[in-house]
Structure 1
Amino acid sequence: MRVPILHILFFTFISFSTAFGQAEKKLVKINTQNSYVEIHGTTNVNSFNCSYNAKLPENEFEVSLIKKGNIIEIQHEALFLKVLNFKCPNPQMTDDLHNLLEYEDYPYIIFQLKKITNNKIAHIMIEMAGEKQFYTVSLKNSLKNNQLISSAIMDLCITDFGLEAPEKFFGMVKVNENIEVEFKIDMNIYDN
């Protein structure tokens, strides 16, 4: 089963008690009512926000973590966000976003968390439209008992993925090639 990006960004503030280099398994359950992923963009005329509208899985899932000093490696399969599940304020903007991301040839945005450093920096691989890029993201974390809330805003340039920012109305409206991906993940984490 393919699951969305939200499953990759929640391990950052867990305190790990395993021996150096040994795998530790955790169970994670997302609180779907309080979690979201959004894309923010601008044009030369205004700004826009598009939200990921798919229902997040409510079942618990397992991840393996390996601590090596201040680095936590995360072992999991790549995770998928279905492009068609992003919705914008109006249908034309939604269609433009889907077409920009070449959804017919590349129906998913693929994410893979490689590691966490210093309990707050995520190292992520993102694949869009068949192109892979690597990013580091500073996370804001809040941990209380077993509840973890992680949030961040990532800056991306669509041209890094071989995509060209669209122009509308004979070039009068131009989309900025820089976008932001904002997320907040509210989850509960348990020992397995």
Structure 2
Amino acid sequence: MKKLLGLATIFLLLSFTVKDSRLDNTRVYLATESTLTISGTSNINAFQCLFNTEKIAAPIPLRFTKIGNTHFFKEATLLLDNDGFNCGSRFINKDFHSLLQSKKYPTIQLELKKLAPIENTRKTLNALVEIQIAEHTNAYQIPVSYTKSKKLGVSGELALSLGDFKLKAPKKALGLIVVHDTIRINFDLKLNMDTVSR
């Protein structure tokens, strides 16, 4: 009898795990009203580079496993063409692309690895994201807020160091104008979801 109960318990645990951790396939479409900016400061002023989200017209595939309340992503990559950023003037654009080494590395890659709830918060998740700029990749934990209406809204902010990616901030006017090491990525994304049949 004990053996039978033990086997039944194991079977129930296994069936729960398999059901809860199945691999789901989804496609995400980025709405044109989405915004994504990279901003920074120098010792004399600030700059902001806005990404043209119309450049991301194709659906973004997502493959993930859900275990409990946490999503683990097998495929969730967003590629941003550096040419899609507009910093407001030709000279700042030139410096921006020089900083990112756009001729050699024309894209920034963001890969979502995990989404997990944050304790005692509502409509806020902790996202583990790997960011590749030039040839260097770093992982960051980013608190993100979300809203649900006709579209899923996801927003957040990340401050990172240029030194994390071995990037050298440009100096102008014989070194009198210096760009600070910290830059910020702000995003407010509006998403349409489309579940893919398995």
Taking structure 1 as the reference length, the TM-score comes to 0.83
Query: Which amino acid in the other structure matches residue 148 of structure 1?
Result: L
Deviation by residue 1:40-62 (Cα, 9 ceiling, x = unmatched): 10011111110112524445454
Q: Comparing both structures, which one devotes a greater share of its residues to helix? A: 2
Counterpart residue number, 1:64: 63
Q: Which has the larger radius of gyration?
A: 2
1:1-192 aligned at under 5 Å gives the runs: 19-32=19-32, 34-53=33-52, 55-76=54-75, 78-118=77-117, 120-144=125-149, 147-192=151-196
Contact 2:76 2:113 in 1 (8 A): no
Q: 1:43 to 1:61 in 2, by over 3 A?
A: closer
Q: Which structure is richer in relative contact order (CA contacts within 8 A, separation 6 or more)? A: 1
Q: 1:150 to 1:161 in 2, by over 3 A?
A: same
Q: Quick one: distance in 1 between partners of 2:145 and 2:44?
A: 31
Q: 1:30 to 1:84 in 2, by over 3 A?
A: closer
Aligned residues: 173
Q: 1:57 to 1:129 in 2, by over 3 A?
A: closer
**Aligned with 1:120: secondary structure?**
strand
**Aligned with 2:43: secondary structure?**
coil
Deviation by residue 1:64-117 (Cα, 9 ceiling, x = unmatched): 221112320122264311112211111100000000001111111111111111
Query: Which amino acid in the other structure matches residue 83 of structure 1?
Result: N
Q: Quick one: distance in 2 between partners of 1:74 and 1:101?
A: 27
Percent identity over the alignment is 27
Q: CA deviation at 1:25?
A: 2.4
Q: Flag structure 1 segments of 5+ consecutive residues without an equivalent.
A: 1-17
Query: Which amino acid in the other structure matches residue 110 of structure 1?
Result: Q
Q: Quick one: distance in 2 between partners of 1:54 and 1:100?
A: 21
Deviation by residue 1:123-150 (Cα, 9 ceiling, x = unmatched): 0111111011110111011012x52000
Query: Which amino acid in the other structure matches residue 155 of structure 2?
Result: S
Q: 1:71 to 1:101 in 2, by over 3 A?
A: same
Q: Flag structure 2 segments of 5+ consecutive residues without an equivalent.
A: 1-17, 118-123
Misfit runs of 4+, over 3 Å: 56-62
Q: Quick one: distance in 1 between partners of 2:60 and 2:104?
A: 29
Q: Quick one: distance in 2 between partners of 1:104 and 1:58?
A: 23
**Aligned with 1:185: secondary structure?**
strand
